[in-house]
Amino acid sequence: MIHVSAPTAGVSKLRSMQEAIADAVRDGDTIAIDGFTHLICFAAAHEIIRQRRRNLTAVRLTPDLVYDQLIEADCVSTLVFSWAGNPGVGSLHALRRRSEQGSEQRIALEEYSHFGLVCRFMAAANGLPFWPLDNYRGVDIPRYNDQIRSVTCPYTGRELATVPALHPDVAIIHCQRADVEGNAQVWGLMGSQKEIAFASKKVIVVAEEIVPTEVIRRDPNRTIVPGIIVSHVVHEPWGCHPSYVQGYYDRDNDFYVKWDAISRTPETYADYLNEFVYGVKDRSEYLRKMGSGLLDRLRARSRMCEGVDYGY
């Protein structure tokens, strides 16, 4: 078969972060901002906070600082997660203040291990009602989560744990580069981005760079999310700080360490949100507050790979 021209719908999905969040995220939605340490889109979370979304069910393996901020800003009523800490540093204090003895406000917690939560996305992405896994025997995780059940294998008779499909209303996927239709290319740690994108009803792709479709086509193996499942595309350089983007900028580890003191009391937490989230209108204003010294320090040193030959 011969294509006279490359098949493209030709419709740009490019929006500002403000437009994309306003259009895609509703009160009461289930949202998943993915990225595992790498590619965590703080810019999207900050916009959700500014737009004062409420009663969200927030899903992430590692809530990280990004969901702790959503929790502190009263956006979240239910947290679905598998490891809730500040990696290498300590606690998520907004979460602890809403989940421990004596907490005045509580949020609902639905807790898995990493593998179990990944399997919920696997089921949804692959169009199945549940996913089996060889796990959760001899532990208390299923005692406190009735979504974890079991099935008997029809071939071996073995009992396997199961988890149900999880279909977020909105997935937010940060990537190194995408075209205006949302074909998103990622390298470095991939988290569960592909599975979450395919599991979700709407997908917002956020990119460090918007590139011509021609650039995507030159290296198609690198496309992790195809544009056909993407609803919005946002161009947001440095959109992950204090998280990182391989090849673009390093993780701001000093910030993660400093965050422990900032987040320890509601007062210092509020000061932070007032200055760096409510107090700025968008990401570029946030970046101006960072100062050029910080961005220069975090900017990645180049380490190009050799490329591959797609010829035939």
Rule CB under 8 A: which residues touch another protein? Answer: 36-38, 61-62, 81-85, 87-88, 91, 95-96, 99-101, 111-115, 118, 121-122, 133-141, 143-144, 158, 187-195, 244, 246, 250-251, 253, 256, 300, 303
The dihedral formed by the CA atoms of 22, 24, 25 and 29, expressed in degrees to the nearest 10: 160
Residue 294 CB burial class (10 angstroms; 0-12, 13-18, ≥19): middle
Smallest gap from Cβ 36 to another protein, in A, equals 5
Smallest gap from Cβ 14 to another protein, in A, equals 27
Around Cβ 117, how many Cβ atoms within 10 Å? 23
DSSP 219-247: SGGGEEE-GGG--EEEE-TTTTTTSBBTT
Nearer to another protein, 5 or 105 (CB): 105
Nearer to another protein, 280 or 294 (CB): 294
Nearer to another protein, 187 or 276 (CB): 187
Smallest gap from Cβ 185 to another protein, in A, equals 14
Smallest gap from Cβ 204 to another protein, in A, equals 20
Nearer to another protein, 174 or 251 (CB): 251
Smallest gap from Cβ 100 to another protein, in A, equals 5
DSSP 95-157: HHHTTSTT-SS--EEEE--HHHHHHHHHHHHTT-SEEEES--SSSSGGGG-TT-EEEE-TTT-
Smallest gap from Cβ 169 to another protein, in A, equals 22
Closest CA to 227 of 178, 187, 192: 178
Nearer to another protein, 137 or 289 (CB): 137
Nearer to another protein, 81 or 269 (CB): 81
Residue 194, token pair as written in the block: 């592909």
Residue 57 φ/ψ, nearest 5 degrees: -95, 115
Task: Determine the Cα–Cα distance for residues 243 and 241; give it in Å rounded to an integer.
Answer: 5
